[in-house]
Amino acid sequence: MKRNASRGLAYEEDLLFELSRPGRRGADTPAYDIPRVDVEDLLGGLLRDDVAALPEVSEVDVVRHFTRMSTWNAAVDLGLYPLGSCTMKYNPKVNERVARLPGFSHAHPMAPAVDNQGLLGLCFELEQWLAEISGMDRVTLQPAAGAQGELAGIMMIRAYHEQRGDTRRQKVLVPDSAHGTNPASAALNGYDIVAVPSGEDGILHPEAVAERMTDEIAALMITNPNTLGLFESHIAELCDVVHAGGGLVYGDGANLNALLGVSRPGDMGIDVMHYNLHKTFSTPHGGGGPGAGPVGIKASLAPYLPTPVVEQGPDGFFWNHDLPDSIGRLHGNHGNVGMLVRAYTYILALGAEGLRRSTDLAVLNANYLLACLREHYHVPIDRPVMHECIVSDRGLAETGITTMDVAKRLIDHGYHPPTIYFPLIVAGAMMIEPTESESLEGLDRFVEALVEIADEARTDPETVRTAPHHTRHRRLDETRAARKPILRWQPPTEPA
């Protein structure tokens, strides 16, 4: 078998503070072309001592430091990164080049609109594209990530009910398969959470929602396809039940990449949803952001959009701040515009056909993986999936090998593990999302690795249990980190 990775040199690198030597500098500052000032004189008691916590290192030190550290990371550009629900698809290089054009990267958010017509126009057009893709009527680009989009959506739902004098609705329905951000976002806006159980078949049934749909329910939050990778086939009926009960439906768009050109949340009955541009629209995940979480809404919610909104008038594009019923501003400026520029570039490059093809291939790849893994791993809900599939460690029970062990052993094969132990409703879940970026050969090699690990669990469980073996670090002690947290470096104390 041709392996995906083998041993290599792992560079060691201390912390910046340990590399620090008095007098070293990595960047200079320009000469004074104006008179020097006496800072003591100007600021007196408002002045501080110098910042001892900053290191003193040369440019070469800094470049080697971060370059070495970069080799300790797994990344999409190194190979399959099948983190379920996170959609680690390839991030086209043209996106990065475009975002660095000075007219985008050195533009200022508070400069007059007349001086930023290119950016306002881009935002205006991107809103329209996202609306068309999702079947929504309006879009705000302001939320900085999916979770902030959820918060914006929930706030608009609250404003909608309150505007109608309907103040009894203080609860939100959240399926048990939902991302943790859903209940957290609703709670952050003061709502109580009512959990809705998924059916045996992994999807939500209208009866389960109907039973809980009272005049205290403001909304249902639903992810479609859900976190099991399954299309919520009853989505239209679910929306009907909620609407009939006076509630609204929030759509978590984390898995929109499974639906491009196939089906639109707006046509399903969803009233408000967010888009994760760093998932569906190929903006890089950045080691944990920045993302971008625009929100699409039906016209009934338009009065509550966050301010300002970009509009087109006779003199060009402008920011409209005059929305008296708006939920208000969510971002200091206009959101993570650099990510909007990348997503715009992606949609422009792919077009309608390319977007549809990305969905087709993502769904094909996920179903192919499921077909290949079925005889080697337990499949908790064996139905055709959309963009991701779920297997579990149940079939390995007699070996004592757990999902965590399989994940860590995958690292030795050069793969980032799938999302593990999520969704919470599947014990020992491994949630695998290959995305459209993988070739058949790449998928086959990944399957071979997983099959080899399943075999190894029976023949040599100790090797699996103590994985990873080929990384710079062996398994790290998370319990110790949490029990006595060390959250910053401090100079070693002198021995007495």
Token output for 45: 């008691």
Yes or no: say if 16 and 68 are a contact pair by the CB < 8 Å rule. Answer: no
Between residue 65 and residue 104, which ones bind another protein under the rule CB under 8 A? Answer: 65-67, 69-78, 81, 83, 86, 88, 91, 94, 96-104
Yes or no: say if 226 and 203 are a contact pair by the CB < 8 Å rule. Answer: yes
Token output for 6: 């083998």
Which amino acid is it at 156?
Answer: M
Q: How far apart are CA 61 and CA 309, in angstroms?
A: 45
Binding of another protein by 429 (CB under 8 A): no
Shortest Å distance, C-beta 494 to another protein: 20
Exactly one of 1, 9, 34, 496 binds another protein (CB under 8 A); that residue is 34
Binding of another protein by 427 (CB under 8 A): no
Q: 2-39 burial by CB neighbour count: b if 16+ within 10 A, else e?
A: eebeeeeeeeebeebbebbeeeeeeeeeeeeeeeeeee
Binding of another protein by 7 (CB under 8 A): no
* Segment lying near another protein (by CB under 8 A), choices 296-304, 413-421, 427-435, 455-463: 413-421
Helix (H, G, I), strand (E, B) or coil at 319: strand
Exactly one of 209, 213, 230, 310 binds another protein (CB under 8 A); that residue is 230
Distance of CA 344 to the CA centre of its chain: 18
# residues near another protein by CB under 8 A: 194
Sign of CA dihedral 227, 232, 236, 239: negative
Yes or no: say if 373 and 450 are a contact pair by the CB < 8 Å rule. Answer: yes
Binding of another protein by 222 (CB under 8 A): no
Binding of another protein by 432 (CB under 8 A): no
Site string for another protein, 268-297 (x = CB under 8 A): x---------x-----xxxxxxxxx-----
Name, in order, each residue with C-beta under 8 angstroms of 200's C-beta and a sequence gap of 6 or more.
none
Binding of another protein by 118 (CB under 8 A): yes
Exactly one of 163, 164, 166, 180 binds another protein (CB under 8 A); that residue is 180
Distance of CA 178 to the CA centre of its chain: 14
Shortest Å distance, C-beta 320 to another protein: 15
Between residue 349 and residue 408, which ones bind another protein under the rule CB under 8 A? Answer: 349-356, 360, 363-364, 367-368, 370-372, 383-384, 386, 407-408
Between residue 295 and residue 354, which ones bind another protein under the rule CB under 8 A? Answer: 306-307, 327-339, 341, 344-345, 347-354
* Segment lying near another protein (by CB under 8 A), choices 230-238, 391-399, 427-435, 449-457: 230-238
